[in-house]
Structure 1
Amino acid sequence: MKMPDIALPPGVTARFGENPQQVAEELADTVADALRRRLAEAAEATLVVSGGSTPRPFFAALSRKELDWARVIVTLADERWVDEPDPASNAGLVKSSLLRNRAAAACFLPLKQEGETPAQGLDAVKAGLARLRTPVDVLVLGMGSDGHTASWFPDAPELSVAMDPACPDPVAAMTPPSQDRARITLTWPVLCNARFTALHIKGADKLVTLRTALAHPAELSAMPVRAFLKAGLQIFWSP
C-alpha cells in the first residue's frame, strides 16, 4: 500500500502495514527482540502494554515468541477500575490474549486492587508494583481519537499530576468526565522514560489524530500522546 504522507519528528520512525495481522506480527517481532536484548544483560525485563481492541492480534503473536518469559515482568499502562471478570478489564484482556502459550510463564502485575475507587486503592496499587523496576524496558501504547494515551485524558482533572515529570508516584487515579469508568494510570516518570516505546494504532481516523498531534507538538495537555512523539518512538499502523 502507499505509505501515508506524514512528516515525522527527527528520530521517530513509522511502519505502515497492509493489514492489522501483518503489523501485529512486526510489532511482536520488534518487542520480542527488545526483550531478548534486555534479558541478555539483566536478570529481568519489563513490558508495559495497553488495552483496547487494537492490541489483540499483537498479544496473540507475542505470546508465541520464544524467549525466557519467566524473567519478564508484564503490567499495564493503565486500567479501568473494574474487577477482572468485567469485559472492560484490561487485565482480563492481557490474561486471555497475551499470558498464554509461551508467555504464560511471565509475571503479571495487575493495576486494579481492592477499593471502591482508584484513589482509595492507590496505596495498594503502588505496593503491587514493587517489582516494576524503572526505567521500563519496553512500552507499547495506544492512542484515542482525542489524543489520549494510557489514561491521560485531556479532560481528566488529575492530568497535570499524571503528566508531571517530577511526580513522586508511579501511578495516579484518573476520573475523566468523558469516560464512564474511573481509571488508574502509570505516570510520566514511568512512561516517558522507557528504554523502547512503540505506538500501536489502527484506522484512518488515527492517522488524522496523529497528524493533528504532530501539528502542534508543544500543547501536551490538549493531546497527551504528544509527550511520546519524540526521538526513539516507533509507530506501527495498519488500516
Structure 2
Amino acid sequence: MNLLETSDRFTLVRHGDADAWIEAIAAEMAQILTYDIETHGRARMLLSGGTTPAPVYQALAELDVQWDRVEVSLVDERWLSPQDRDSNAWLVRQSLLNRADGAHFDPLVRVGKPITECVYTANLQAQHTEKPSVAVLGMGNDGHTASLFPGSKDLARALESTLPYAALDATGCPGANQWPLRITLTPHGLRQCRQRLLLLRGKQKLEVLKQALESNNAQLYPILNAINLESAQLRIHWCD
C-alpha cells in the first residue's frame, strides 16, 4: 500500500508546477474565507511563516475577499518582536497584510510582555473569537510542524495541552536554528480549526512525510499530530 496515496486522514493534492500550486492554494483559501464570512459574518485564519507559503499569501491578497471581515493570526512564532525581519509576523505583514487592505492582525508576541503573558493572551483570544476558518501549516525536514520540534523538552507538555497555544523551548533542536524559544499552536488548537492545509515543496518533503506515516510516532514526527486528528481531513498541497 502506498501510504501517500491512500488515507482517511488526509488528501494529497499534487500540482504540476509552482505556479499551479500557488494559484490552487490561494483560491482554496479565498473560498474557505468567503464561505465563513457569508456563514458567520467573519473569518479567521492562522498562518505559518517561512519562504514556502509567502508567494501563496501574495497571491491570496490579490483575490476578491472581504478583508475587513478577516482576522489573521499565527500558527507559531519565534520569541522575536513582530517588527523583527526574522519573525513570522514580519513575513505575514510583508506578503499579505500590506496588500490585503482592512484585514486585522493579532501577533502572538507582544512587545515588552513576558512569554507567559503572551501565551496567556493568545489563549484568551482564541477562546473568545470565532474558531479559525483555516490554518496553514508547513513541515520541516525533521518532521516538525508549527513549533512542535522533535526532541524538545517541552514537546510532551505541548502535545498534551488542553489550551490552543503553548510556550516551547526547542534548545538543542536543529530545526529551531538560533531561535529556540517559541509560541506554538498545540494539537488542541489545531483541532479547533475548520480546515487545515499543509504546504509542501520538493521530493524530500514527501519522503519525510512517508517516513512519518510509516513510523506512526507522533513524538518523533510531530507532523502526525496534524494528521491524526478526529476533525476534518488534512489537505496536503505538494509540488516539486
- Output the TM-score relative to the length of structure 2: 0.88
The AA in structure 2 aligned to 1:142 is: G
SS of residue paired to 2:84:
coil
TM superposition shift of 1:142: 0.4
Instruction: Give the match for residue 223 of structure 1.
Output: 221
Instruction: Give the match for residue 29 of structure 1.
Output: 27
1:143 partnered with 2:147? no
Q: How does 1:157-236 map to 2 (within 5 A)?
A: 157-164=153-160, 167-177=161-171, 178=173, 179=176, 180-181=178-179, 182-217=181-216, 219-230=217-228, 232-236=233-237
Percent of aligned positions that are identical: 33
TM superposition shift of 1:113: 1.4
Query: Which runs of no fewer than 5 residues in structure 2 stay unpaired?
Result: none
SS of residue paired to 2:39:
coil
1:108 partnered with 2:102? no
Contact 2:79 2:182 in 1 (8 A): yes
**Do the aligned partners of residues 17 and 153 (structure 1) sit closer, same or farther apart at CA in structure 2, a change above 3 Å counting?**
same
1:48 partnered with 2:50? no
RMSD, aligned α-carbons: 2.1
TM superposition shift of 1:151: 0.4
Contact 2:197 2:236 in 1 (8 A): yes
TM superposition shift of 1:125: 3.9
Larger CA deviation: 82-91 vs 115-124: 115-124
Contact 1:9 1:229 in 2 (8 A): no
1:17 partnered with 2:18? no
TM superposition shift of 1:192: 2.4
SS of residue paired to 1:28:
helix
Tell me the alpha carbon deviations over residues 153-181 of structure 1, each in whole angstroms, 9 at most, x when there is no partner: 112222122212xx343211111122221
TM superposition shift of 1:123: 3.0
TM superposition shift of 1:75: 0.6
Q: What is the total number of aligned residue pairs between the two structures?
A: 231
Contact 1:199 1:235 in 2 (8 A): yes
Larger CA deviation: 66-75 vs 4-13: 4-13
The AA in structure 2 aligned to 1:201 is: L
Cα separation, 2, equivalents of 1:74 and 1:127: 16
Tell me the alpha carbon deviations over residues 174-217 of structure 1, each in whole angstroms, 9 at most, x when there is no partner: 11122221111122221123111110011111011111111123
Instruction: Give the match for residue 238 of structure 1.
Output: 239
TM superposition shift of 1:128: 5.6
TM superposition shift of 1:132: 3.7
Cα separation, 2, equivalents of 1:33 and 1:94: 19
Cα separation, 2, equivalents of 1:214 and 1:222: 11
TM superposition shift of 1:104: 2.4
The AA in structure 1 aligned to 2:167 is: A
**Do the aligned partners of residues 20 and 117 (structure 1) sit closer, same or farther apart at CA in structure 2, a change above 3 Å counting?**
farther
**Do the aligned partners of residues 196 and 128 (structure 1) sit closer, same or farther apart at CA in structure 2, a change above 3 Å counting?**
closer
Larger CA deviation: 71-80 vs 153-162: 153-162
Contact 1:138 1:197 in 2 (8 A): yes
Larger CA deviation: 57-66 vs 11-20: 11-20
Contact 2:82 2:107 in 1 (8 A): no
Tell me the alpha carbon deviations over residues 82-121 of structure 1, each in whole angstroms, 9 at most, x when there is no partner: 11232211000000001133x2211111001135753364
Cα separation, 2, equivalents of 1:55 and 1:69: 19
Contact 2:43 2:69 in 1 (8 A): yes
- Output the TM-score relative to the length of structure 1: 0.88
